[in-house]
Structure 1
Amino acid sequence: MSGWRSREARAFRSAWAGLIGALRDERHMRFHAVAATVVILLGLWLEVSRTDWLWLLLAIAGVWSAELFNTAIERTVDRISTETHSLARAAKDSAAGAVLVMAIFALAVGLIVLGPPMWRMIVHA
């Protein structure tokens, strides 16, 4: 049983190191971290419902996951070869496109969930 725990602990440490490394090294991950913080603070301030929290957290997790996959693909492609190749470019562009799709989804969720209560606060202020 201790071998299983040890492997699980190593896997968790590796995953954590990947997240921290991406936050340290990737400008876009830092941007997403700031955006997530703003969304969370707005959600707390506006006292959104539990269901709305699920949507907000799904959007945040989706963007972070997409950005982590994008980082992994970019680093892998860069490690394989330094020369420019159309397939390498296509792989990187596709990964970046996945982040864009998720970011657009997150923006839509933010507008749907946070927009109406913010609008009510502005109108009633």
Structure 2
Amino acid sequence: MRTRSSPASRASSNGALRAVHASNDRRDHQDHQDHQDHQDDHDTADVDPFDDVSESAAPDEADAHRLNGQIGERAHNGTPTRSGPQHEPLGPDDPLAPLPFNPYKGNRGLTRAWHAMKNSLAGFRVAIREESAFRQELTLAAILLPCGVLVPVEPVSRVLLLGSVLLVLIVELLNSSVEAAIDRISLERHELSRRAKDLGSAAVMVALGMCVMTWGLIVGPVVTRWVKAWL
């Protein structure tokens, strides 16, 4: 004989089934969430922690500075750039252009002093051989320098006597170098060339006048006393 279940028993059994289904649903949802978290962790592990994914399309600060430096260097060297104006390279006549390499300026130390001494002696030989004015002044210096050493005057006055004679030789050498440079450029008559040579001659004349004045003021009284003593 089959018995019919009461409504209370059916309700309790339905509640138990719904609880079982709800528990299964929660377990499936938890498993799905765990699987998604594991997949996210795996994807994150593949990415370098030092990479900035959000700024991958834009250069970082270091790249920007390096790019600006390359653009500035290209602009300074005259290389055309995409964003800046095109600059032409500096010509040889431009005052900002670098000087050409001089192989004669590479000596240092005692080697430089040795070459400087040889060049100086060569300059003296050229001046004596080619410049008649320098020969005349050198002859005058050969007479006055011993006199300046022997004359009985104070040490400071002696230095002034010898220095005035040497100053004439120095200015004459500079004047000769200016004339040689002008003749190297051009031998034709030009107003600026004539002016440069005249200025050099004027400098020599001023040095000669200073020499005469110094010897007259210092040696003059000494010579006057000698003449009075003889008379």
* TM superposition score normalised by structure 2: 0.51
Count residues with an aligned counterpart: 124
1:99 to 201, 204, 223: 204
Per the alignment, residue 118 of structure 2 pairs with 13
Inter-partner Cα distance in structure 1 for 2:224 and 2:129: 35
Inter-partner Cα distance in structure 1 for 2:228 and 2:146: 21
Displacement after TM superposition at 1:46 (Å): 2.5
Is 2:185 the partner of 1:61? Answer: no
AA of the residue aligned to 1:58: G
Displacement after TM superposition at 1:3 (Å): 4.7
Inter-partner Cα distance in structure 2 for 1:122 and 1:42: 17
Per the alignment, residue 175 of structure 2 pairs with 70
Inter-partner Cα distance in structure 2 for 1:24 and 1:60: 20
Q: Could you tell me whether the CA contact under 8 Å between 2:149 and 2:158 is conserved in 1?
A: no
**Between Structure 1 and Structure 2, whose CA radius of gyration is higher?**
2
Higher RCO (CA-CA < 8 Å; seq separation 6+): 1
Inter-partner Cα distance in structure 2 for 1:4 and 1:40: 33
Deviation per residue, 1:6-55 (Å, 9 max, x gap): 12100111012112321222111111112112222322443232111110
Inter-partner Cα distance in structure 1 for 2:135 and 2:227: 29
- Stretches of structure 2 lacking an aligned partner (at least 5 in a row): 1-106
2:216 to 95, 102, 111: 111
Alignment CA distance shift 1:18-1:46 (3 Å) = same
**Which shifted more, 101-110 or 11-20?**
11-20
Per the alignment, residue 142 of structure 2 pairs with 37
Inter-partner Cα distance in structure 2 for 1:58 and 1:42: 13
* TM superposition score normalised by structure 1: 0.90
**Which shifted more, 81-90 or 14-23?**
14-23
Counterpart secondary structure, 2:109: helix
Counterpart secondary structure, 1:84: coil
- Stretches of structure 1 lacking an aligned partner (at least 5 in a row): none
Deviation per residue, 1:38-92 (Å, 9 max, x gap): 2223224432321111101221121111000000001111111010000000000
